[in-house]
Amino acid sequence: MPALDPHDLIDDDEIVFRRVSEKSGWYDAKSSRPVAWTAFKPNSNDHDGVSVWRAKYQSAADVAAIGARPGTRYFVLAIRVSQLRSAGAQIVPTPVSGAAGHASISSLRVDAYHESKDAVRALAERIANEIIEPVEGPFGPF
């Protein structure tokens, strides 16, 4: 894993991307609530939090392609960091090998969910309903 650059803190004015597959149904442009809160519910692998990618390092199209499954299309949800923080979410860089700009919404960790389902659910729903910037895509199929 690349070393964390202590000077590469995430600024409030940055945008981060969250990828969702078309098959998941987590984004539906025709819905009165287009983004499902489940897009931000941590799963059992989200020990550091829900994964996002920093627009400073990756375009939306790049994010869609990272580890894409063949034949799958993806939407990319854009979120402004200042709005995430205003909602009470914490976001931290979590570098990974092979691609720059990975970060995690650390308030949405799997252990936090099991400790307080209501609080994590509320935060996920608020992010989905209120603070998504324009959605990009679909990208693919890859």
Site of interaction with other proteins (CB under 8 A): 19-21, 23-26, 28, 31-33, 36, 38-39, 41-45, 51, 67, 69, 72, 110, 117-118, 121-122, 125-126, 129-130
**Two tokens, residue 33:** 């609530």
What are the residue ranges of helices labelled H in the chain? 60-65, 81-86, 110-115, 117-130
Using CA atoms, how far apart are residues 113 and 42, in angstroms rounded to an integer?
7
Cβ proximity to other proteins: between 7 and 40 the closer is 40
Cβ proximity to other proteins: between 11 and 111 the closer is 111
Using CA atoms, how far apart are residues 15 and 82, in angstroms rounded to an integer?
9
Q: Is 27 helix (H, G, I), strand (E, B) or coil?
A: strand
Q: Least CB distance from residue 41 to other proteins, whole Å?
A: 5
Cβ proximity to other proteins: between 39 and 79 the closer is 39
Cβ proximity to other proteins: between 11 and 28 the closer is 28
Q: Least CB distance from residue 15 to other proteins, whole Å?
A: 18
Q: Least CB distance from residue 6 to other proteins, whole Å?
A: 27
- Residue among 42, 45, 48, 61 nearest 95 (CA): 48
Q: Least CB distance from residue 4 to other proteins, whole Å?
A: 21
Using CA atoms, how far apart are residues 110 and 33, in angstroms rounded to an integer?
24
